[in-house]
């Protein structure tokens, strides 16, 4: 996926799918690591996380130094 990906509802939904797939395979991860691991602009990754949060598919946990995100069981 290109860093030049347009910021549209379709692209946010596509990145939300990438986030879901990543979390499904890797489990809980910091938001920073997630943004580095997904091949899309950071703001689109965060919007994708928001999409999944709105659909009640992820949970957030406060760590000592950072926040983590994981799929709901």
Confidence of residue 7 (pLDDT cuts 50, 70, 90): confident
Residue 26 main-chain phi, psi, to 5 deg: -115, -10
Backbone angles phi, psi at 55, to 5 degrees: -85, 5
Confidence of residue 68 (pLDDT cuts 50, 70, 90): very high
Instruction: Answer with the residue of higher pLDDT: 1 or 15.
Output: 15
Question: pLDDT of 13-29, one tens digit each?
Answer: 999 999 999 999 999 99
**Percent of the chain whose pLDDT exceeds 90:** 84
Neighbours of 18 (CB within 10 A): 18
1-5, 26-30, 45-49, 55-59: which has the minimum mean pLDDT?
1-5
């Amino acid at each position: 996926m290109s860093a030049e990906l347009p910021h549209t509802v379709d692209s946010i939904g596509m990145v939300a799918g990438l986030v879901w797939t990543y979390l499904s395979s890797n489990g809980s991860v910091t938001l920073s690591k997630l943004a580095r691991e997904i091949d899309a602009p950071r703001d689109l990754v965060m919007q994708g996380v928001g999409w999944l949060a709105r659909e009640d598919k992820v949970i957030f946990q406060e760590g000592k130094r950072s926040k983590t995100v994981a799929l709901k069981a």
